[in-house]
Amino acid sequence: MVFQIISIFILAAFYGCYFIKMLLQKKQGIRTDHLGKGKAGLVRFIEITMKVVTILLPAIELLCIALNISKLPTEVRIAGVCLGLAGTAVFITAVITMKDSWRAGVANDEKTRLITTGIYRISRNPAFLGFDLVYVGILLIFFNWLLLAVSVLAIILFHIQIVYVEEKFLAAVFDGEYKDYKKRMNRYLGRRLI
């Protein structure tokens, strides 16, 4: 029961942050969700597939929480709780740091700022890192093969989104500023030794 309550808290805080940010931006006239919108070809496919998987995964996570089945030892489940809580904190910090530049998907028709301060001084992609940590955390708490498959698929799709969509977009829009930032900062965690 304790693992279920903590996991519901993790998901509520994580997705609550996501949807509250979307609503706050909507009130300001900012469209947050750009996944697949106005795109074509591979970029559209990547973003739409990512969106479908990220809608499917929380439904599977909630089912796993309701069933409360796990074959992993308690110590591994506790590690999952730690990862889930850390991922939620990282994600919330990333969303707050981004301010009004935060988007889901690339916004080809909007001008935003390149954020390199706060948590973005230790990760180029802390929001994605937060997603990954939450997914792995919930997986460790309620391990089963379906949850493993969908979690791994989501993590792979996020990586593909970063490498083939977001990094190309940022390099095109912010040119030298992004290239300099990319040289200094690792994709997920840590500074580079230059």
34 vs 43: which has the higher pLDDT: 43
| Structure confidence at residue 173 (pLDDT) | 86
Distance CA 169, CA 75 (A): 41
Rounded Cα distance between 1 and 171, Å, is 47
pLDDT in the model for residue 39: 80
Q: What is the pLDDT of residues 62-105, one digit of tens each?
A: 999 999 988 899 999 999 999 999 999 999 999 999 888 777 76
Mean pLDDT of 172-186: 88
Amino acid at 135: Y
Cα 167 off chain centre by: 15
Whether residue 108 has pLDDT greater than 80: no
Coil, strand or helix at 159:
helix
> If 0-12 CB within 10 Å is exposed, 13-18 middle and 19+ buried, where does residue 86 land?
middle
Cα separation values, 174 from 113, 118, 126, 168, 180, Å: 9, 19, 19, 10, 10
The answer on pLDDT for 136 being more than 70 is yes
Give the residue with greater pLDDT, 54 vs 84: 84
Q: How far is CA 38 from the centre of its chain?
A: 21
Q: How many residues does the chain have?
A: 194
Is the model's pLDDT at 149 over the cut of 90? yes
What are the pLDDT digits (tens) for 14-25?
Answer: 999 989 988 988
Catalogue all structural domains in the chain, each as residue range(s) with its CATH number: 2-26+38-104+124-184 (1.20.120.1630)
